[in-house]
Amino acid sequence: MLRFNNIRWGVILGSMLLASSVVWAQQPANSNSAVLNIQVNKPIAKVSPTLYGLMTEEINHSYDGGIYAELVRNRAFQDNRGWPDHWRILQDGNARASMHIDPSTGPSAALTSSLKLTVEQADAFSAAGIINNGYWGIPLRTGTAYRGSFYAKGSQDFSGPVTMRLVDNNTGNIVASATIPSLTTEWKQYKVALQTGQIATSASNHLELSVAHAGTVWFSLVSVFPPTYKNTPNGNRIDLMEKLAAMHPAFLRLPGGNYLEGDRLQDWYDWKKTIGPLVDRSTHPSPWRYRSSDGLGLLEFLEWCQDLHMQPVLAVYAGYSLRGEHVNPGPDLAPYVQSALDEIQYATGGTDTKWGAVRAKDGHPAAFPLTYVEIGNEDWFDRSGTYDARFAQFFDAIKKAYPQLQLIATAPIKSRVPDVIDDHFYRTAQQFFQDTHHYDKTDRKGPKIFVGEWATREGTPTPDFGAALADAAWMTGMERNSDVVIMSSYAPLFVNVNPGAMQWNTDLIGYDAVHSYGSPSYYAQAMFSNHLGNEVVDSSLNADNPRLFYSVTRNTTNGILYLKVVNASSKPQQLHIQLQGQKQVKGTATVISLIGHTTEETNSLVHPNRIVPVKSSMAGVSGDFQHTAPAYSIQIIEMNVQ
């Protein structure tokens, strides 16, 4: 059953069904029928239950300005040490004020600088303060409670009040407002409730922090949170989490990607700086040209996994950074190995362990499940030739402390036998079409395969239907070989489509501050993930269509046979399907179809539902029946076969 939460599928599916039947009727079929023979009761391989998962990293404003629900940009004034980027001065009426970064004071040892607001003149009718426009706007919805907070201190001659407001850009109307009556001369956190009334949903809003008389105020960690998924404080954006939930992913590879490595050695993902109270997180530069708030830190990643019933695939920094610097194996690498051991203990240790106790103090006493740990990311880029020895040092230490963990290598290793190898493929549609048999001959006695990053890179900011067809073709190959390909994850997962937000131009799910949409590739992924089965059955195809791909799996607990057919040709394809070895076949099958008119057709913020799965039922199913796969189509035929 395709499960897409909270989306009006009835309406969408109804209209898509109509549209797609027009496509089927208009096109003449490929002249040659293809014959597909399926040996229903002849399993040839197990299907990995973890085949489809997610890969995540801070790129394209995936976390800040993406799934992490914070609405204030550069909230801790750390993005630029010289100027409060993304902030502006507010000078109503005849108010006079200035702002700058003050490197001499901040609310914590992690945040040692702050924004200093100097007000020369202000009064009840002429407020002075600072303005933030969020991540391409501040999205506000009707009748909604927002959590506002900030750290502040005042000069001797300024004791408040300070007002926090959400203001409509177009009308100047105050949409929500709260006032803190007084400040002290010491750093302190203030929290307010910001409640909207009857408004239209819009991102054309800004935040104001203002005062009504002269004096000096320092601000840090200015935050506004909307309601979050499962109402978790410091949590995730609801619509994006729902889109992920609809995919039923088995795992989350975290925290990246290049994001794990950083540009320079000092920029590595030092997870210890991403846990605990937000005021104790120093923020860090990410390799994708903007600074990370680290609001979405290690514990938040693990909670994200918990919320979506995924297991974490924890990537630990292995001593190689993107500009080619590396840490020598041996004593130099030892602190990084220890950090990885500590990180594993933070995730999995009991509260009687050092780092398990820290996790409990951070609010999560229960340990998280963990099976896979990945050593580094794309270490084939390391020209120093040290990865084998670096991997061995991590491998020996982790296996000694946690023998049950499965360790993933990111490049070939000779000195040890990794449990799993991480392969990455960024390709054109044609390349994927030609390589769907990539894993057919892989040694079944060697390490398992994790296709940890892959995508057909056609279409921007999100893939078009031609890319989805190639993705689906590639997935049939992974699925057929999922006794050895045990996990896979498309990358990148997210893109904020606003101007200047994107660094990588083909991404699975697109959004702005208010709306989000799934690309055709997203729906192809969801369809495959939601109809997995647990065994690959024997089959053969006799066809002369070079762009016809398929996979057949079955679910042994309910007797459902899943036939996935990808017709990437511009012509419908006649299929003669022969089922053999079964006792009986139910005469009606369920068909889930994803169909495009052209390879360029796609979804977007404006047209989010142009290409979505359509569910229908198909009569006349028997041990020997005909089916026409529409032009440019991805179909799952769900048959009840005993």
Tell me if 453 contacts ligand AHR by CB under 6 A.
Answer: yes
Give whole-number Cα distances, 73 to 63, 98, 204, 313, 403, in Å.
12, 19, 15, 29, 43
Q: With contact defined as beta carbons under 8 Å apart, do 285 and 262 qualify?
A: yes
When computed from its CA atoms, the radius of gyration of the chain, rounded to whole angstroms, is 27
Minimum distance, C-beta of residue 258 to ligand AHR, in the bound complex (Å) = 3
Minimum distance, C-beta of residue 427 to ligand AHR, in the bound complex (Å) = 13
Q: Which residues contact 513 (CB under 8 A, 6 or more apart)?
A: 134, 135, 136, 137, 138, 139, 203, 498
Indicate the SS3 state at residue 220.
Answer: strand
Minimum distance, C-beta of residue 348 to ligand AHR, in the bound complex (Å) = 25
Measured distance CA(351)–CA(358) in Å, rounded:
8
Footprint on residues 213-272 left by ligand AHR (CB under 6 A): 256-258
Measured distance CA(308)–CA(437) in Å, rounded:
32
Minimum distance, C-beta of residue 422 to ligand AHR, in the bound complex (Å) = 9
Among 347, 491, 501, 561, binds ligand AHR (CB under 6 A): 491
Minimum distance, C-beta of residue 426 to ligand AHR, in the bound complex (Å) = 7
185: its two tokens:
């001369």
Minimum distance, C-beta of residue 573 to ligand AHR, in the bound complex (Å) = 33
For ligand AHR, the closer of residues 220 and 410 by Cβ is 410
Minimum distance, C-beta of residue 368 to ligand AHR, in the bound complex (Å) = 23
For ligand AHR, the closer of residues 113 and 505 by Cβ is 505
For ligand AHR, the closer of residues 491 and 589 by Cβ is 491
What sections of 486-519 are H helices per DSSP? Answer: none
Q: 527: closest CA among 492, 561, 562, 495?
A: 562
Measured distance CA(69)–CA(66) in Å, rounded:
7
For ligand AHR, the closer of residues 447 and 492 by Cβ is 492
Q: 393: closest CA among 313, 445, 450, 317?
A: 317
Among 348, 377, 496, 574, binds ligand AHR (CB under 6 A): 377
Q: 296: closest CA among 68, 78, 55, 135?
A: 68
Among 107, 215, 235, 492, binds ligand AHR (CB under 6 A): 492
Count of residues that interact with ligand AHR, criterion CB under 6 A:
11
544: its two tokens:
């002369």
Among 70, 303, 342, 378, binds ligand AHR (CB under 6 A): 378
Minimum distance, C-beta of residue 98 to ligand AHR, in the bound complex (Å) = 40
Tell me if 107 contacts ligand AHR by CB under 6 A.
Answer: no
For ligand AHR, the closer of residues 325 and 483 by Cβ is 325
Minimum distance, C-beta of residue 323 to ligand AHR, in the bound complex (Å) = 14
Tell me if 300 contacts ligand AHR by CB under 6 A.
Answer: no
For ligand AHR, the closer of residues 257 and 295 by Cβ is 257
Concatenate the DSSP letters of all residues of 382-429 into one string.
Answer: -TTS-HHHHHHHHHHHHHHH-TT-EEEESS--SSS--SEEEEEEEE-H
Q: Which residues contact 102 (CB under 8 A, 6 or more apart)?
A: 113, 114, 115, 116, 218
Measured distance CA(223)–CA(82) in Å, rounded:
21
Minimum distance, C-beta of residue 488 to ligand AHR, in the bound complex (Å) = 14
Give 558: exposed, middle or buried? Use CB within 10 Å, 0-12, 13-18, 19+.
exposed
For ligand AHR, the closer of residues 378 and 479 by Cβ is 378
For ligand AHR, the closer of residues 287 and 295 by Cβ is 287
For ligand AHR, the closer of residues 224 and 502 by Cβ is 502
Footprint on residues 58-77 left by ligand AHR (CB under 6 A): 59
Please work out, in degrees rounded to the nearest 5, the angle formed at the alpha carbon of residue 99 by the alpha carbons of 98 and 104: 130
For ligand AHR, the closer of residues 187 and 259 by Cβ is 259
**Which letter, b or e, does each residue of 351-377 get, where b requires 16 or more Cβ atoms within 10 Å of its Cβ?**
eebebbbbbbeeebeebbebebbbbbb
Among 36, 57, 218, 284, binds ligand AHR (CB under 6 A): 57
Minimum distance, C-beta of residue 215 to ligand AHR, in the bound complex (Å) = 46
Q: Which residues contact 387 (CB under 8 A, 6 or more apart)?
A: 318, 320, 376, 379, 380, 410, 411, 413
Measured distance CA(413)–CA(523) in Å, rounded:
36
Tell me if 509 contacts ligand AHR by CB under 6 A.
Answer: no
For ligand AHR, the closer of residues 91 and 258 by Cβ is 258
For ligand AHR, the closer of residues 237 and 253 by Cβ is 253
Tell me if 504 contacts ligand AHR by CB under 6 A.
Answer: yes
Minimum distance, C-beta of residue 378 to ligand AHR, in the bound complex (Å) = 5
Residue written as token pair 């005021």: 279
Residues lying near ligand AHR in the complex (CB under 6 A)? 57, 59, 256-258, 377-378, 453, 491-492, 504
